[in-house]
Structure 1
Amino acid sequence: MNIDFHYGVIYIVARTGGMAPAEALTVAHACQYVDDATTSGILRFSGGETFERFATAHKLFDYTNTEDDQNRLVWTPFHFLPAGEGETLEEKAVCRPDSAVAREVVRRAIRQRGNDTALHRLGVTLHAYVDTWAHQGFAGIESPTNRVHMLEAEDCTREGWFARLTRATRHLVQHVEEDVLTLALPVGHGAALHYPDQPWAKWHYIDGRNVRIKRHNLPEFIQAAEMTCRAVRAYVAGREDFECQPGLPEDVKAALTKLLDTNRNLDDTKRLQTICEAVKTNAIPGLSESIPDYVPKGLGSWKYKATGLQSDDDSGDRPRWSDVFEKSDYRRFHDAVKEHRFVITQEILPACGLRIA
């Protein structure tokens, strides 16, 4: 999923589920920031203090995508949550919608409700949770499961996605056949392009098992929003049985379905603008407010507010450590990331017979 869902829809669902605007904003920001937190390593302060960060995303065609050990620590816990189903590691690593593993991850986040990282942890968790619908059938490790052949989609032309690629990527795609692209992108749904993340898309392909897979994203995305609303209601109530909580009201579900189906701009940031306008103009029942702009990098970002740093490459910078940093969304997000990754890789997955880190 893209920013239109991870930020816009998650904000809508969080508000509908009973959160105050400030809480919903923190959850939605953390949810989207999982796709933008690409800086890892030690943040060093001028007084000698240090703070460890884990990247929660890599960029498409980044060379780190070829390093399977790194993929397992980035793609698997945050974007392609394994369902733990099957016999082999490759089978267990496949992402399935609303799996038992995914529900346990949500319950673990709700359990941390009293911590100062609780809202950020919920946002990080919801990113991985809703992605189980969008990324189903793919895995966050190098696997034949991720192979895509005969990819086709309704109402989505090749020129549409092709125009969105960078010049270097367009050059690459122009000179490779479909099977070569599949082999070049062995992790996740890279070979399926943007189709898994477009709310309206109807598409199909032949997978690595030579099975024809048909996908219609809209009902899947609405189900993800429905279950997210249940998770938020459970969090607000301090209950872990989130699947038993009420979901989206019917009028909200209908409005959201129409919005996701008709909002078809290939630029996800423009889709987000449309969602924000819908919230502002009461097109979503019960909501009539402005969603603050999302700032991932630079001035106004969580990192800038916490450290004064604007660049991804902060290896040579030494900000001053202070109480401002300790109370910042940036620190809380990265601590939530560490908690989330540990629980998944060291507790939940090993209990399912899957050891990936």
Structure 2
Amino acid sequence: MQIDGHHALTYVVARIAGMEKQQAEKLAYSAQYVDEATNSNPVRFKNGAMYDRIASAHKMLDYRNSSQLANHLSWIPFHFLPGNQGLPAGESPQGHFTKRLVCFPDSPISRDMLRMVMKYREQPFGLHMFGIAMHVYADTFAHQGFAGITHEINEVEEIEPVGHPHIQDKGLWARVKDEFLNFSLSSVAPLGHGPALSFPDRPYCHWSYLDSEDNLVVRDNPQIFSDAANQMYKAIRCYLAGDNTMVLENYDNIPGVQMNVIRQAFETIIHEEGEDRHKDWLHWIAMNKFGFGEEKIQFIAKGKGSWKQAARGKAIPIFGSEDLVAYKYREEFLHSDWKYFHDALKTFRLEIVRDILPEYGICVA
């Protein structure tokens, strides 16, 4: 998913689920910030204090640029949670180990992830951590069929539109056709859904492709995204109820009227750029199209109004260094949303890689 899904959709389903506005904003900001936290350098303060952090994303501005992407440690825990082909712990899929790494929607691993984050519900970073989990959980739907490694299992061929006029017209589809005329598929690194470009993340696309085993895969993104929204809604209901079991089947679906509006948004907000689709979603929220009131929200990743600047202030160059900067230390930093997010990020990655995945026989960096 892109910012329209991870920020706006997360906010919408949280509000429909009954989460109050301030909490929903924090949840949605955390879900989207997973895609913004691209720096892993320690933060230095003028008084000598330091704060360590990790990156949860790499800006994939060009899906063909694999030199830096291939070994990035963020892909599996934060964007391509292994699915074990939908099998529970103790059962392994037939075939090569890499098949365990392929994303599977709402897998037993993803349910274990949701239960894990519930352990931290009462921590200061608990809501931030649940927002991170909402990002990862949503991507198990959008990224299904792909793995967060560089491997031929991600290779695709013959991407085609399926009965959907929007991507057959002048815009996206024509540009993708040009892309493939200028760059062969072999030049696209088989990392994640790189060979499929951004089709998995576009909520309006109906498309098909041949996977690495020459199976025809037909994807109905509006339905996939609707399924993700419904399951996110149930997970948030569990969170609000303090229900650590995460048995989502015990909770009702999103009410039909509101689900219809969400589905309409997926199918009719069709800008090529995620940022443009995000603006339309925010407009729909402000117009009370989703039924929980006229509300104005925003997402500012950096600069004035961002969590980052509120926590650290402005950078101060370190004397004698061209690259290093420091920040004026304030006690408020320890209780800032930005620090809580990174506390949650580090805890989340450790629990996934150290504890949850090994239960499924999966060992990753």
Choose the corresponding residue for 1:268, options 270, 274, 288. 274
| Aligned equivalents of 1:128, 1:343: Cα separation in 2 | 14
C-alpha contact 2:58 2:69 (8 A) present in aligned 1: no
Structure 2 vs 1, CA of residues 350 and 135 (structure 1 numbering), >3 Å: closer, same or farther? same
Counterpart secondary structure, 2:219: strand
**Residue 214 of structure 1 aligns to a residue in which SS?**
strand
Matched, 1:124 2:132: yes
Report if the CA contact (8 A) 1:58-1:64 is conserved. no
Which stretch has the larger CA shift, 60-69 or 19-28?
A: 60-69
> Is residue 355 of structure 1 aligned with residue 363 of structure 2?
yes
TM-score by length of 2: 0.88
Q: Distance in 1 between matches of 2:299 and 2:172?
A: 24
Deviation per CA, 1:95-139: give whole Å up to 9, x if none: 011110011111111221100001110110110000011100000
- Of 194, 218, 225, which residue of structure 2 is paired with 1:221? 225
AA aligned opposite 1:22: Q
Aligned to 1:180: 186
Look up the equivalent residue of 2:228 and give its one-letter code: A
> Percent identity over the alignment?
33
Q: Is contact 1:297–1:310 with CA below 8 Å preserved after alignment? A: no
Q: Is 1:201–1:218's contact at 8 Å kept on the other side of the alignment?
A: yes
Could you say which residue in structure 2 is the equivalent of 1:250?
256
What is the deviation of 1:83?
A: 0.7
Q: Which residue number in structure 1 is paired with residue 77 of structure 2?
A: 77
Is the 2:282–2:298 Cα contact (8 Å) retained in structure 1?
no
Q: Deviations over 1:260-313 (max 9, x none)?
A: 11111112222112212222222112x2232322101222211111111479xx
Which SS does the other structure have where 1:213 is aligned? strand
Residues 338-349 of structure 1: pairs in structure 2 closer than 5 A: 338-349=346-357
Query: How far is the alpha carbon of 1:322 from its aligned partner?
Result: 2.1
Change in 2 beyond 3 A, CA 1:66/1:277: same
Distance 1:163 1:342, change over 3 A: farther
Is 1:149 the counterpart of 2:157? The answer is yes
In the alignment, which residue of structure 2 is the partner of 1:281?
287
Is the 1:206–1:213 Cα contact (8 Å) retained in structure 2?
Answer: yes
- In structure 2, distance between residues paired with 1:321 and 1:198: 41
Conservation of the 8 A alpha-carbon contact between 2:158 and 2:209: yes
**1:139 partnered with 2:144:** no
CA separation in 2, counterparts of 1:146 and 1:69?
Answer: 13
Mapped contact 2:65–2:189 kept (Cα < 8 A):
no
* Residue deviations 1:43-80 (CA, integer Å, cap 9, x gap): 11112211111111112238984457733x20101111
Q: Pick closer, same or farther for the CA change 1:68–1:282 going to 2, 3 Å.
A: closer
5 Å-filtered alignment, 1:42-53, equals: 42-53=42-53
CA distance in 1, matches of 2:74, 2:202: 22
> Is the Cα–Cα contact under 8 Å of residues 315 and 327 in structure 2 kept in the other structure?
no
- 1:91 corresponds in structure 2 to 99
1:159 Cα offset (Å): 5.4
Distance 1:310 1:245, change over 3 A: farther
- Write the distance in 2 (CA, Å) between the matches of 1:84 and 1:68: 23
- Quote the residue 2:88 is aligned against: none
Query: 217-226 or 273-282: which moved more?
Result: 273-282
Unaligned runs of at least 5 residues, structure 1: none
Q: Once the two structures are superposed, what CA deviation does each residue of 1:151-204 show, in whole Å capped at 9, x if it has no partner?
A: 112431485338889xxxx8x866322x223xx322111111121111121111
Post-superposition CA distance 1:225-275 (Å, at most 9, x none): 111111111111100233122331111111111121111111222211221
Aligned alpha-carbon RMSD (Å): 2.3
Aligned residues: 345
Equivalent residue, structure 1, for 2:207: 203
Q: Give the Cα separation in 1 of the matches to 2:345 and 2:66.
A: 20
1:24 aligns with 2:36: no
For 1:41, what is the secondary structure of its paired residue? coil
Q: In 2 relative to 1, CA 238–146 (structure 1 residues): closer, same or farther, beyond 3 Å?
A: same
Q: Is 2:340 the counterpart of 1:332?
A: yes
Structure 2 alignment gaps of length 5 or more:
86-92, 317-321
Match of 1:190 in 2: 194
Give the structure 2 partner of residue 294 of structure 1.
Answer: 299
